[in-house]
Structure 1
């Protein structure tokens, strides 16, 4: 076995059970339950907030332009900087490589469902961002810290429900693992595949090292 094959085999033993669980299909179908979960959540938020992703799209543009920016507000980045940071972590990984994989597996029609899922998912993202701002910590020096780990622990406590801190810790751990696998390894693997297609196959660790 080559080094690449050994690495793949090692990671497969660890990630295999998680992948099989997350992408497990409904009995008798090839439809993963996680896809239904995302669609149902996005649909519920879209209906509950009254098509917020469409009604307030103009307001979102105004926020990015800085029409509502106040230098005295808490925070370390502007609205545009926050958008640019979010896009830098998704464009390329999801919008380029992800689309190519989806079209390769499901055909051109996959792009329609990806666009529809993206539009519906905007309501889920709106909900996440709202909760993140509501339950974030603001410090005297103007810095802030927030995110799902904060609104899980604080939100559950506010509702009198247990398990908020446990979920927050689990999310933080999964986020670290996701940053290693989805954020770095996936992109390095895609880069290696493109270069290998031009110059011929070579050890993948060279791309990772570069």
Structure 2
């Protein structure tokens, strides 16, 4: 998985578009996605943030499809991930098996191509930070975070309505048809609430320091 500097979630991401032209809700959503990446190290959050940022600058054609016809500024965190991913893909294109540091003179370290094209194709998910077994891939990890967050939101809502914590936890856990397990219920709902608190705290701090 591409290197992540794991910056503090309370640090401003350094991306602040003109608020007069962009909805604050959209800006907060993008900031939240980048912060989720910081917490989880899952690059799918960055891809989602990047998609939303580019769509803000896209032009709608007559058929409704979006296209980009102007320069787009992106946060440094996304640019850093793209740098490492693009460099790794470039090395695969050059048939390089060994790792080469990202330096300005990287071409001087190239060796004769020894990686077959079939092998290079199989390594693409890895260099993008998306590989893993079905239950440990970036996609499974993202789905797990989505489920935990949804369970935590349901739990908070039920408790807010006056339901006892243990009953609310059981009901929230059944949202996705999970098998009953008191220990697992508590761990997932607690993890989801902790995840949400970290994201909300970061977004509020980011808004405060703009």
The two structures share one fold, judged by TM-score above 0.5: no
Higher RCO (C-alpha under 8 Å, 6+ residues apart) = 2
Structure 1 length as normaliser, TM-score? Answer: 0.29
Structure with higher helix content:
1
